[in-house]
Chains A and B, each alone.
Chain A
């Protein structure tokens, strides 16, 4: 086999190899959507973040508007501080309430924006204090069980 044919084959091989890498990066890893556009940073304090992780989505009305960039523990207030990068195209009122929600019963957790009505907007670096913690399923269940048990016992005595 002469050199030109081999070059052609190797060229084709390298081309489809790189094409499949590109396919993995764009179609599977969604590189294009995750690292595009300008963002501004917001911070929020939570009592309990549950299972929230860095890179979790930030959603408003169910639409992804940003990503969680950092999570740390504040040793003075004993609360969790979550930093988020929010798409600069979207501005939110100052009295927006941040909640930690779960998509589905066992799905991943995300930060939700419940938009308020203030005319002033959240600016770069604002620390949002109006937040609602993650619902911890175990706590909810145990609360329910205790209430149920108290109802059954207490109900009997009162009558």
Chain B
């Protein structure tokens, strides 16, 4: 009895693990297929532009507003801590570095995953559930080239732009609270910031981060949609998995990238 129960637990565990690994392999093959079939998405670029509208432009409001508020909170909290050491002029450095290096890429990627990633998964999943993808195949239209690749590239293109907007908005928010509201000297706010933010070390690394996150989110979103069970339940499960998996992978990848970039 006990042996049987143990064996069943072990089997279930093994099944789960092999399923995960199988899905990972399929996802890697899927990414390769997307890259192979990107020709159409880039040649008929209006397909991609349409998707940039849905993923990028429609995410603008949430990115701009949350960037502004994150920057304003950074301004308040940073001022509160810095004034204990009498170095409130360093507020500009604190706001700019934390936004450009970390918060900009990471928070905008998390927002992007829940705003645009989930929508991509649901859309592709529903296309699959209503057999639109099969219909395309019947008409000799490759669904990966026609549906998946444009969405993938739209996400990859939008993400760095959104992260830059988020950081810029956040720095503006920090300026509003720090300089306009509390009264930190505007000159030292900007000059200290300019003296310690390095273009290559900080800004370019931030852009690289957001590009990597863009690839991760778009890849997971299109894969979960394409791989979803063609039922209402399956699509909802896939949408949830997109948000959960991409958030976790973003944070993990951020740790790895930060360890490589900012060790010095």
Q: Could you tell me which A residues sit within 8 Å of B by CB distance?
A: 3, 6-7, 9-10, 12-14, 16-18, 20-21, 23-25, 27-31, 33-35, 55, 57, 106, 108
Contacts and interface: CB of A to CB of B under 8 A. Distances in A.
Interface in B149-166: 158, 160-162, 164-165
Interface residues of B, number: 32
A33 B161 contact: no
B57 interface: yes
B100 interface: yes
Interface of A is mostly: helix
A25 B100 CA distance: 11
B161 A13 contact: yes
Given A13-B161, A20-B167, A29 B52 contact: no
B165 A27 contact: no
A9 B57 CA distance: 7
A24 B164 contact: yes
Given A21-B207, A29-B202, A13 B57 contact: yes
A110 to B, nearest CB: 10
B50 A28 contact: no
Given A6-B53, A7-B49, A29 B199 contact: yes
B114 to A, nearest CB: 19
Nearest to A104: B87
Interface stretch (B72-80, B122-130, B190-198): B190-198
Contacts of B164: 17, 20-21, 24
Nearest to B60: A13
A3 B197 CA distance: 40
Contacts of A34: 199
Contacts of A31: 199
A126 B123 CA distance: 67
B53 A9 contact: yes
Contacts of B167: 20, 24
A28 B197 contact: yes
Given A9-B57, A13-B57, A34-B199, A28 B46 contact: no
A14 B203 CA distance: 18
A28 B165 contact: no
Contacts of B52: 10, 13-14
A6 B202 contact: no
Contacts of B194: 27-30, 33
